[in-house]
Structure 1
Amino acid sequence: MSMKVVHDGDGLPRIILTEPAGSSAEIVSWKNERREELLFMSSKAVWKPPKPIRGGIPVCFPQFGNLGSLERHGFARNRFWELDSDPSPLAPSSSQSSVDLILKSTEEDLKTWPRSFELRLRITLAAGKLILIPRVRNTDNKPFSFTFALRNCFSVSDISEVRIEGLETLDYLDNLMSRERFTEQADAITFDGEIDRVYLGTPSKIAIIDHEKKRTFVLRKDGMPDAVVWNPWDKKAKSLSDLGDEDYKTMLCVDSAAIETPIVLKPYEEWRGHQELSTVSSSYCSGQLDPRKVLYGFQ
C-alpha cells in the first residue's frame, strides 16, 4: 500500500492512494484492479480554482443547495485542503493507503459564513472499497448549524440501464417541483428524464445497479440520513457550461447527505459521518435482482 503526492499539468497537487490488489484512488478518481474508472468526471470539467470540479466526490459544506449569500453547495468543494497531521480523536491511521485532510475556516470564509470550524476528511482505500470519514468541529464560541453531502458521481454505462434499490417506499423532496414532498411508489428507481430528489430517512445501504456493466455499487453510510439522486438529462446538461452535452448518459449522482434536519454543534462539539463505497460483480444482464441479496448479503 502507498500514498504519494504528485502535481498535474496545471500544477495542482494530487494525492494518489494504491493498494496491493491493484486498485487506486485520487481525490477525483477511483479505479478498480482492472484500471476501470468508477467515478464520473465531466469532459468539460474546470480545473482552475475557485471553480468547483464537476466529478469525483465533492464535499458539500456548510450547505447543500442554493441558500442565502453562500455559493451553491457551500465553499468546501472549491478550497485547497491540507494534510492533517493530528486527526484526533480518530487514532492515527495505520494504513499506508489512507490519508487525513483538513480544511479550516479562513478570513474569506468568515465574511460569508461567520462561524469558525475545522472540517476533516479521512480517505481510505482497500480492495474493492473506498471509505470516507468526514468530521466537522465547531471551534467557535457559539453554536452553529450546517447541512452536508458527499456528492458521489458514479460512472455508469448508460443511465437508461441503471436502477437504484433501497429507496422504495421512502418520502422525498422533489427539487424540480419546489421541494414538494412525495412518496416513492416504484419498486426501484429507473431513469428516463431529469431527476433531482432528496430521499429522507434512507437505509444504511443503497444499491446502484448497472445492468450493462454487470456491476453494482453498494453505498453504505452512517450519520447522513438523507440521499440525493441527481441526473440533469439532456436539456439541463446543455445549460451547464462545465458538463458535456452527452455526459449525462454516463453519470449518476447518489449522495450521502444530511439535509432535511441541519446538524447543530455546540462550541467545540464534533459531528462525524461515515461512507463506504464498494463494487459487486453481477452475472445478470437485465431483469430483477433480489435487493435483499445486494443490500444485506455483503457485509
Structure 2
Amino acid sequence: MERSNKPAPISASGTGPQPNVHLEQGRAIARLPSGDSVEVLLYGATVISWKSNGKENIWVSDAAKLDGSKPVRGGIPIVFPCFGPPPKDHATGKLPQHGFGRNSHWEYLGSSSSESGALAKGGDDSIKLDFGLSHQQLSEDTKKAWPYEFGLVYSVTLAKDGLQTMLNVTNQGKEAFEFQMLLHSYWRVDDVTRCTVNGLGSATYIDKVLDAKEQQQSTPELRITGEVDRVYKSIKQDITSIVQDGKSRLDVQRDRIVDSVIWNPWIEKAKGMGDFEPNDGYKNMICVEVGAVDGWQKLEPGETFEGGQILKSHL
C-alpha cells in the first residue's frame, strides 16, 4: 500500500552493533544489540514473540496456526473493524467475529530507527517495524461485506525498555465509516492464580460471564479465580499492570484509547477450544487488551484515528 512517510532503511553507519531486521517464513524479526527481540507474522500483522532479557513475554498456544490458515490463538492479534460478533443491523454486520484485521495478509512497509514516540531514543536503542493493510488487499468477499476505502498502518517499536504497538486508521474514501479496534494481547505468566490485574480504578465494565451485565469495579485489584471476560469502559488511569507474587510483571499503558478487555478462559472453556493447548495453558496466560470498543469510532473522509499501547516488562 502507498504511504507518504514510508520509513527509510536503518543506516548501517555508526559505531557498535546496530539493530537487525530480517524476513523469513512470512514473518518480520527484529533484534536489538541487547538481545531483545520481536517477531511479527505478516498474516494478521500478529506479534507472536517479544523477548526481553532473554525471556518471553507473550503466550502463544501450542496448537496455534502460524501458516496463515487461521487467526493465531495467542500473541497480539489485531481486532478491526468490529469487536466480537458484529451487530446484524450495523455496517459491519456481514463480517466475521473480530473483523478481518487478524486474518488478512499485511504488507511489510519497512523498518527504521525510531526517533520519535514514547519509547524512542534513536540509534541502537530502538527499531520500528511498519505494516500496512488497505481495501485493495482484501478478498473480494470481504470487500463486498465492508466496502469502505481505508488504510491501516500498524507500527511495532522494539526498545530496550519496552514495546510499543500503534494502529493508525485513515478513511481514504468518500463516505464516513464506523469501526472498533482492539489489540487482543495474550501475556505469559508463571501462574495466573498468583497474579492480580491492577490499575482498573472504579471503572464500569460489561461482564460477559454474567450475561453481559454492567458492573462497577469495587476493588483496587482483580484476582483471577475463574473464567474472566470483562470489557472495561473509559478507564481513567493510563496504566494497567499485571502483578505476579506481589511484584510488577508487566505494565500496559493505553495510548490515545481508554477501554480494556480482561480475559482468561479458565478450565472448561480452554478445553472446549480446539486451538488452545495445552488444556491447562490458561494457568500461564492472561489477556489484558487495549482498544476502542465501547460504541463506535466514526471517521469522516480524510480523517485519521491512532491508538495503541506502550508495554514495559519487569522480567
Interval containing the TM-score (normalised by the shorter chain): 0.7 to 0.9
- What's the CA shift string for 1:67-92, capped at 9, x where partnerless? 132111111111111122699xx989
Cross-structure match for 1:253: 287
Shift of 1:3: 3.8
Cross-structure match for 1:227: 260
Matched, 1:123 2:164: no
Kindly tell me: are residues 263 and 50 of structure 1, through their superposed partners in 2, closer, same or farther at Cα, counting changes over 3 Å?
Answer: farther
Shift of 1:6: 3.2
Matched, 1:172 2:192: no
Q: Distance in 2 between matches of 1:91 and 1:50?
A: 35
Q: Is the 8 A contact 1:158 1:250 kept in 2?
A: yes
- What's the CA shift string for 1:216-242, capped at 9, x where partnerless? 201111222100000000100011110
Q: Distance in 1 between matches of 2:102 and 2:202?
A: 32
Q: Distance in 2 between matches of 1:3 and 1:273?
A: 26
* Count of equivalent residues: 273
> What TM-score results when the alignment is normalised by the length of structure 1?
0.85
Identity %: 32
**SS of equivalent to 1:246:** helix
Choose the corresponding residue for 1:100, options 113, 118, 130.
130
Q: Distance in 1 between matches of 2:249 and 2:157?
A: 20
Matched, 1:47 2:60: no
Cross-structure match for 1:32: 52
Q: Distance in 2 between matches of 1:2 and 1:109?
A: 37
Q: Distance in 1 between matches of 2:110 and 2:281?
A: 38
Shift of 1:248: 0.6
Cross-structure match for 1:19: 32
Shift of 1:215: 4.4
Cross-structure match for 1:83: 108
Q: Which moved more, 1:226-235 or 1:74-83?
A: 74-83
Cross-structure match for 2:76: 57
Q: Is the 8 A contact 1:66 1:73 kept in 2?
A: yes
Q: Distance in 1 between matches of 2:111 and 2:281?
A: 39
Q: Distance in 2 between matches of 1:84 and 1:55?
A: 24
Choose the corresponding residue for 1:238, options 251, 257, 271.
271
Q: Distance in 2 between matches of 1:100 and 1:201?
A: 28
Cross-structure match for 1:292: none
Output the amino acid matched with 1:234. Answer: I
Q: Distance in 2 between matches of 1:41 and 1:264?
A: 32
Matches within 5 A, 1:81-230: 81-84=106-109, 97-105=127-135, 106=138, 107-202=140-235, 203-211=237-245, 214-230=247-263
Q: Distance in 2 between matches of 1:204 and 1:228?
A: 14
Q: Distance in 2 between matches of 1:119 and 1:236?
A: 32
Q: Is the 8 A contact 2:27 2:39 kept in 1?
A: yes
- What's the CA shift string for 1:9-32, capped at 9, x where partnerless? xxx311111112221111210001
Gaps of 5+ in 1: 282-299
Q: Distance in 1 between matches of 2:37 and 2:255?
A: 24
Kindly tell me: are residues 81 and 216 of structure 1, through their superposed partners in 2, closer, same or farther at Cα, counting changes over 3 Å?
Answer: same
Shift of 1:43: 1.2
**SS of equivalent to 2:144:** helix
> What TM-score results when the alignment is normalised by the length of structure 2?
0.81
Q: CA RMSD in A?
A: 2.2
Shift of 1:48: 3.1
Output the amino acid matched with 1:274. Answer: G
